[in-house]
Amino acid sequence: MENKTNVQPERKPVIFSAIQPSGSITLGNYLGALKNWIALQDGYNAIYALADLHTITVRQDPTTFRKNTYDAYALLLAMGIDLEKSIFFIQSQVPEHAQLAWVLNCYTQFGELSRMTQFKDKSQKHADNVNAGLFTYPSLMAADILLYQADLVPVGVDQKQHLELTRNIAERFNMLYSPTFTVPDGYILKNGAKIMSLQDPSKKMSKSDQNANACVHLLDKPDDIIRKFKRAVTDSEACVRYGEGKDGINNLMEIYGCITGKDNAAIEREFEGKGYGEFKLAVGEAVVDHLRPIQEEYTRLIQDKAYLESCFAENAAKASRIASKTLAKVMKKVGFLPMKRS
């Protein structure tokens, strides 16, 4: 008789990432991070969130905030987040995030939070509303990650400091009470791009830029996208090549390469002897063509609020089932009494 052994499938690492629904998603957000979320779904247990609790550290108009949350959820689904492969939820609909964040606040040192560069930057930017949430934001971010025992967190340069604090909090808690949290590692996106402003290529593309021509939004109309690329800042050399002192062209080549899959050498060959006008038009057209199916799918999804709301509820329930297990361990180890539900 043949002996059969039960071979357990290899456990996929858990990867967690979140984005705020604080405004229209930009081409920089997409090429820098979100496009990679889609690619990561097959190799990892992917858990994604709209971090709306983080969003209110800056004052929001409630009607616009609600619309932005619907829009962001529909747009990320349109990009290709597959709810059969990933969990994709709205942070405020999983109350364990706020509950663990308070506990972690009590295991995070004031000095650690005061050193966070994003707190310093946002305090200057929003000097009329330097609230406690803005200060303790990194403890909530730590809760977001640690609730799901995430092995990996995709990080850009601007988030490395927050991830390091998350690791410190997890290690501190584990030392005090015995292993409770997975200590996460940063995942450097292999194809992540840092997309700069079209009008000031020394600055990162930002949805809050006062210059409307500096930023391409994923839901911009094709004519507006083309116009913005035609007006993109370049240099006087009129030669499409990657190099020092050519920040504007370097940025356009980065965008074109992300969209087409071509490297810099191939782009330089393609546009050899051609002027900047022709190159900028080609970049704009490539972006328009790439975004067209995403925009079409978004338009379909945003008209079906009932479907989106069913996705919110189902994915919040999935996330809560995982998060509640971690939170129960934490509450027990800290010494809270168990809650008896009637």
**Would you name the residues annotated as active-site residues?**
122, 204, 207
Q: Which residue has the tokens 């995430």?
A: 150
Residue 236 phi/psi, 5-degree rounding, is -95, 0
The pair of three-digit structure tokens given for residue 62, joined into one six-digit string: 């409630």
Task: For residues 106 and 96, give the distance between their C-alpha atoms in angstroms, rounded to a whole number.
Answer: 16
The pair of three-digit structure tokens given for residue 90, joined into one six-digit string: 């709205």
Task: For residues 328 and 205, give the distance between their C-alpha atoms in angstroms, rounded to a whole number.
Answer: 41
Task: For residues 228 and 4, give the distance between their C-alpha atoms in angstroms, rounded to a whole number.
Answer: 63
The pair of three-digit structure tokens given for residue 244, joined into one six-digit string: 């020092």
The pair of three-digit structure tokens given for residue 163, joined into one six-digit string: 């991830």
Q: What is the residue-wise DSSP string for 108-133?
A: S-HHHHHT-HHHHHHHHHTTT---HH
SS3 93: helix
Residue 260 phi/psi, 5-degree rounding, is -95, -15
Handedness of CA 30, 31, 33, 37 (dihedral sign): positive
Q: What's the gap between Cα 143 and its chain centre? A: 16
The pair of three-digit structure tokens given for residue 49, joined into one six-digit string: 């969130």
Please report which helix (H) or strand (E) contains residue 38, including its range: helix 35-40
Q: What is the residue-wise DSSP string for 308-328?
A: HHHHHHHHHHHHHHHHHHHHH
CA-wise closest residue to 171 among 163, 162, 161, 179: 179
